[in-house]
Chains A and B, each alone.
Chain A
Amino acid sequence: MTVGPSRGRRYVMLFLFFCGFSIILFRLVTLQVLQAVELTAKANRQHEKTVSFEGARGMVSDRHGKVLAMNVEVPSVFGVPTSLENPSAVARHLSPVLRIRSSELEKKLRQNKSFVWLARKVEPEQGRRLEQLSLGGIGVVMEGQRFYPNGPLLAHVLGFSGMDGQGLEGLERRYDTQLHGEKRVTVLQRDALGRTIFPKGGKEQVPTQGQALTLTVDEVIQYIAEKELDETVVRTHARSGTIIVMEPQSGAILAMAVSPRFDPNSVSALTPDRWRNRALTDTYEPGSTMKAVVAAAALEEKVMTPGSMIFGENGKMTIASTTIHDHEKLGWMTFSEMIQKSSNIGAAKTGMALGDQRLYRYLQAFGFGQRTEIDLPGEVNGLLKAPKSWGRRTLASISMGQEIGVTPLQMVSAIATLANGGVMMKPYVVSEVRDQKGLLLMEVLPHAKRRVVLEETAKTVTTMLERVVTHGTGTKAAIPGFRVAGKTGTAQKIDPRTGGYSSTLFVGSFVGYVPAESPRLAMIVVIDEPQGEAWGGTVAAPVFRRVGEQVLNYLGVSREDTVKIALATRDY
């Protein structure tokens, strides 16, 4: 008879199995129930990776699609101090590559942080060398950086963006909402080696790129304006200079040059004084260029006709116990000659004939004392007091361009109004906004603000302004083969020490349009504090001629002597 295991041994076995399974069950409950949340999170951390993608900042291009601002990816270097065993040695390795002192790097790497930037937006070659070094605890990531391929060209208009891609100045700031790309966060699944397999849930959040801007500015015209302005500012040892070229019929800005220039690719060492867009942030007393506006108002109000006679008081006239001078002794002259010879006394008498209320009304209508509403940041109102605040001499002073502060943009807008037959257009710089696929989101169309004077009045003023260039103070602005209308201006600046007008500090300017019979360009040239001869007709008018001649040539505008021929074609 076979005897099986004793009952006792069976119970022992059963008990051992029970204990074993109990332990397994306990461990199972611990892992699956009690530590479930914690362990799930740990597992997710191991096989999931959260990454954020930032859409590139939108491109900015000129009216012909030439790139003026774009984004490029450059390496940035970071460190993980908590994972470093020997920060000193790592800093020594990094120092020659990053061109940063070893002690400075070591200081950063000794911080009790899990992440520190060591150098942001370095050169691609530096990034490559660091990757070759493959130092533990040091990483390289690619970041978008704004790049301006033309360097200083149009810098005052474009502005620049900051380290984190936010618009800080100029168009970059004004259109930051449109230009900046959107950030998207995606969770990616990864394998044991850390390689990405696919996005969690199968859907990846694609970052939206910034919108692209197309400007009204022409890169070539801008270059011509900047080149000529820079040369003049350097040659005359002037403090600064401004040129604005505008299309009178639309208000589109073709060029806006400010000297001295700056390179928006490296602004860290510069002060705001250097990147300020003086064309719309700085006011100056326009001097005699204001006489064109006063003349238009007088003609429109029929206070004067081109043939009206004015006595020049032999070059000296006293108003409110101050004496007004002309640069030459003038006797009787026609209203047209008064503009041609730029008589202060004649302008003062014209202003007085108009009266303070009417003159003020026209100054406002021509846009003085208010922003032009151009799509650029920082524009100022200028300075135009209401008649109730005027002194006894103010009417005469404003008529000859004193006691009024204007920006170059306001002045060129006013003259462009005359070029456009009396209709004032709103100046603008951005013509189109498109999305990353090129779809047109916004198109800016020319906007007529108001009619300021009748077309007939504008034509009469044009004829008078043509005489300024053919026989008057602005002969150096004459462009061979074209009819030029314009006005010179030479204004004394306020001496900050005395509070009165300086005898050495001037602003020389010329504002006009060409061809006078059918204007394609309205342009202002302002030279601030030129040394030596500072007359607008001497210092600014030649710049107008040189820029105007090159731009008209570039635009293919015919000279008066153009031979028109008929080209016959034949069928082949």
Chain B
Amino acid sequence: MKTLTILAGVMLVFVFVWERVDVVRLGYQIERSKSQKILLERERDQLQVKFSSLAAPERIAKVATEKLGLIPPQQGQVMMVHQSMDAPGLSSPPVEQVRLARHVVTGRINE
């Protein structure tokens, strides 16, 4: 009986120590994860900056005109085609309108 009590006491001490050690271990693990999260967030922000800069209308217009040789559509080159709501077979609301380029008759093409 006495031996069992001593053993139980020793076990309790071990459990307590193990718990403390594990808390510290998890603390380190959480800190590592947090550092990784910060780095990933930083990387995400950098990518967002890069994306926003690349998608800036000024840059796109520059690439379109200078690199691809595109020009804004001239009068008559863009036609709005309206879908009639009472067209047969339409069950769901259609997209309001679509744009169709008629034909590109003018424009520079950089070979």
User: A and B, one complex?
Assistant: yes
Q: Which residues of A contact B (CB under 8 A)?
A: 66-67, 70-73, 142, 147, 149-151, 153, 189, 191, 195-198, 219-220, 223, 227, 480-481, 550, 553, 556-559, 562-571
Contact A567 B75 (CB under 8 A): no
Q: Which residue of A lies closest to B84 (CB)?
A: A566
Contact A567 B94 (CB under 8 A): yes
Bound complex: CA of A566 vs CA of B80, how far in Å? 12
Q: Which residue of A lies closest to B97 (CB)?
A: A556
Tell me if B61 is interfacial: C-beta within 8 Å of chain A: yes
Set of chain A residues within 8 Å of B45, measured between Cβ atoms: 70-73
Q: Which residue of B lies closest to A480 (CB)?
A: B75
Set of chain A residues within 8 Å of B36, measured between Cβ atoms: none
Give the residue of A153, A481, A553, A562 whose beta carbon is less than 8 angstroms from that of B58: A153
Contact B89 A569 (CB under 8 A): yes
Tell me if B90 is interfacial: C-beta within 8 Å of chain A: yes
Q: List 30 A-B contacts (CB under 8 A).
A: A70-B48, A71-B45, A72-B46, A72-B49, A73-B45, A150-B52, A150-B57, A153-B57, A153-B58, A191-B24, A195-B28, A196-B27, A196-B31, A197-B31, A219-B57, A223-B57, A481-B75, A557-B80, A558-B82, A559-B80, A563-B79, A563-B81, A564-B82, A565-B82, A566-B83, A566-B86, A567-B81, A567-B83, A567-B84, A567-B87
Set of chain B residues within 8 Å of A151, measured between Cβ atoms: 56, 58
Extra pairs beyond A153-B58, A568-B89 (6, CB < 8 Å): A142-B42, A149-B52, A189-B27, A480-B75, A565-B82, A565-B84
* Shortest distance between the CB of A422 and any CB in chain B (Å): 27
Bound complex: CA of A150 vs CA of B24, how far in Å? 46
Give the residue of A149, A219, A567, A570 whose beta carbon is less than 8 angstroms from that of B49: A149
Tell me if B73 is interfacial: C-beta within 8 Å of chain A: yes
Contact B31 A195 (CB under 8 A): yes
Set of chain A residues within 8 Å of B82, measured between Cβ atoms: 558, 562, 564-565
Tell me if B111 is interfacial: C-beta within 8 Å of chain A: no
Contact B84 A564 (CB under 8 A): yes
Contact A149 B57 (CB under 8 A): no
Q: Which 3 A-B pairs have the closest CB atoms?
A: A149-B52, A198-B27, A223-B57
* Shortest distance between the CB of B91 and any CB in chain A (Å): 8
Q: Contacts A66-B55, A147-B49: A562 and B84 contacting too (C-beta < 8 A)? A: no
Tell me if B72 is interfacial: C-beta within 8 Å of chain A: yes
* Shortest distance between the CB of B19 and any CB in chain A (Å): 14
Chain B interface bracket (under 10, 10 to 19, 20 to 34, 35 or more):
35 or more
Q: Which residue of A lies closest to B98 (CB)?
A: A556
Set of chain A residues within 8 Å of B89, measured between Cβ atoms: 568-571
Set of chain B residues within 8 Å of A195, measured between Cβ atoms: 28, 31
* Shortest distance between the CB of B54 and any CB in chain A (Å): 9
Q: Which residue of B lies closest to A191 (CB)?
A: B24
Bitwise interface map of B from 38 to 55 toward A, beta carbon under 8 Å scored 1, else 0: 000010011011001101
Q: From residue 64 to 107 of chain B, which have CB atoms closer than 8 A to chain A?
A: 72-73, 75, 78-84, 86-90, 94, 96-97, 99
Q: Contacts A566-B87, A568-B87: A197 and B27 contacting too (C-beta < 8 A)? A: yes
Q: Contacts A67-B52, A150-B52, A565-B81: A227 and B61 contacting too (C-beta < 8 A)? A: yes
Set of chain B residues within 8 Å of A568, measured between Cβ atoms: 87-89
Bound complex: CA of A191 vs CA of B80, how far in Å? 69
Bound complex: CA of A567 vs CA of B78, how far in Å? 18
Tell me if B30 is interfacial: C-beta within 8 Å of chain A: yes
Q: Which residue of A lies closest to B85 (CB)?
A: A566
Give the residue of A142, A220, A569 whose beta carbon is less than 8 angstroms from that of B90: A569
Set of chain B residues within 8 Å of A196, measured between Cβ atoms: 27, 31
Bound complex: CA of A436 vs CA of B21, how far in Å? 36
Tell me if B11 is interfacial: C-beta within 8 Å of chain A: no
Set of chain A residues within 8 Å of B90, measured between Cβ atoms: 569
Tell me if B23 is interfacial: C-beta within 8 Å of chain A: yes
* Shortest distance between the CB of A428 and any CB in chain B (Å): 23
Give the residue of A71, A149, A550, A566 whose beta carbon is less than 8 angstroms from that of B53: A149
